Amino acid sequence: MRSAPPELDGVSHRYVDVAGTRLHVAEAGEGPAIVLLHGWPQHWWVWRKVIPALAAERRVICPDLRGFGWSEAPPGRYEIQELADDVLALLDELELDEVELIGHDWGGYAGFLLCLKAPERFRHYLGLGIVHPWFEPPKPSPQALSRTAYQFLLASPGLGAGILRYVPAFVRLVIEKGSHPDMHWTAEELDCFARSFQSRGHARASSHVYRSFLVRELPRLKKGHYRSQRLTVPTRILAGEADPVIKADILAGYEPYADDMSVEILSGCGHFVAEEKPEIVVERARQLFGPVAASS
């Protein structure tokens, strides 16, 4: 049996059936709703440093995406659009017509797909450590391969899931290497994420996420699949200067496709923005979302 989710003051936990899958949802606070979507290799606990401040003003909703954390991990292709569709279904189940949105990593990419598919459901969007759907995949090079080799490893049938299940040190290493050198992780924090892949289903789900991205989504990006769509939701991206994958140059080129979007590169920060610079995430969220009274 899987262990219970970690506890955080003021946070409650429940499970919601969405499209035939049982999703774990952590919630805190009251008021206008804000949804926070985690990425790989994490789950709702990625938001532990920003939840208290945000929950003092809003209802904070942190689901575990299907295949992650304490949500179910049914068989499937695990395309990011599927994860995004789960979020729309979750909003329906929670009877939320419109929310604020923050997403990190794969949750950040899902956030863009959500804002393109259902812009009326999202007031503003804050993306952390993720590319936008109009970026141009870099041409193959030794440097690019060295930065993304872990993705091909994880996507490998059998091997990727096996590493996640039986080599938890791999997850710990990815997190540490993806962070700024000044970031200190406790053993408990790293273990909380590494242990979440001990079940076969959850390990397999992560492998499928990467396989689906490399085999299906990346070719779409290379063909400019999203360039016929325009982002109307006011959006900000925060990325760390020390992020080994999300570099400033690949975040350029969005201007023709977005009404109101900007990119900020954070010094002294790696990939895990909400944990490395939580105070900046909270500050930028407040700036973007505006006063609670004005958005209610």
Report the CATH number at residue 256. Answer: 3.40.50.1820
Give the tens place of pLDDT for each residue, 3-21: 889 999 999 999 999 989 9
> Which pLDDT score is estimated for 295?
43
SS3 27: strand
Q: pLDDT tens for residues 53-68?
A: 999 999 999 999 999 9
Give residue 34's Cα distance to chain centre. 14
The answer as to whether 238 is a domain residue is yes
Residue 2 within any structural domain of the chain: no
Average pLDDT over residues 18-26: 96
Query: Band of the pLDDT at 102, cuts 50, 70, 90?
Result: very high
Residue 155: which domain range?
A: 12-295
Residue 4, domain member (yes or no)? no
Q: Tell me what pLDDT residue 139 has.
A: 74
How many domains is the chain partitioned into structurally? Answer: 1
Structure confidence by residue, pLDDT tens digits, 247-274: 888 999 999 999 999 999 999 999 999 9
For residue 151, the one-letter residue type is Q
SS3 at position 214: helix
In this prediction, residue 148 carries a pLDDT of 78
Question: Is 5 part of a structural domain of the chain?
Answer: no
pTM, full prediction = 0.96
Beta-strand ranges (E) seen in the chain are: 12-18, 21-28, 33-37, 59-63, 99-104, 122-128, 235-240, 261-266
Query: How confident is the model over 132-179, as pLDDT tens digits?
Result: 999 988 776 666 666 778 899 999 999 999 999 999 999 999 999 999
Phi-psi region of 96 (alpha: psi -120 to 50; beta: other; left: phi over 0): beta
